[in-house]
């Protein structure tokens, strides 16, 4: 998380993980029901991942190519 590309990878992983957890019914009510605080960040990341799933998927693919080839 000390560089820009590390921060982008962390953000993409957070959005993808929270969007995946939102699809699991038991975890959705337990983790993502709170809209404030730390769990609120997870809720907002899940909403971003769900609504912008195509853009997030393309970003993950481009970041994977950059990490594998560019570094």
Instruction: Give the pLDDT of residue 39.
Output: 79
pLDDT in tens, 7-53: 999 999 999 998 888 888 877 777 767 778 777 888 888 889 989 99
65 pLDDT band (50/70/90 cuts)? Answer: very high
Domain ranges of the chain: 3-70
16-53: buried (b, 16+ CB within 10 Å) or exposed (e) per residue?
bebbebbeeeeeeeebbeeeeeeeeebbebbbbbeeee
């Amino acid at each position: 998380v000390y560089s820009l590309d590390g921060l982008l990878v962390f953000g993409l992983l957070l959005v993808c993980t929270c969007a995946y957890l939102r699809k699991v019914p038991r975890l959705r009510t337990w983790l993502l029901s709170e809209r404030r605080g730390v769990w609120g960040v997870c809720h907002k990341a899940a909403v971003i991942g769900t609504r912008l799933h195509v853009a997030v998927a393309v970003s993950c693919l481009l970041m994977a190519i950059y990490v594998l080839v560019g570094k």
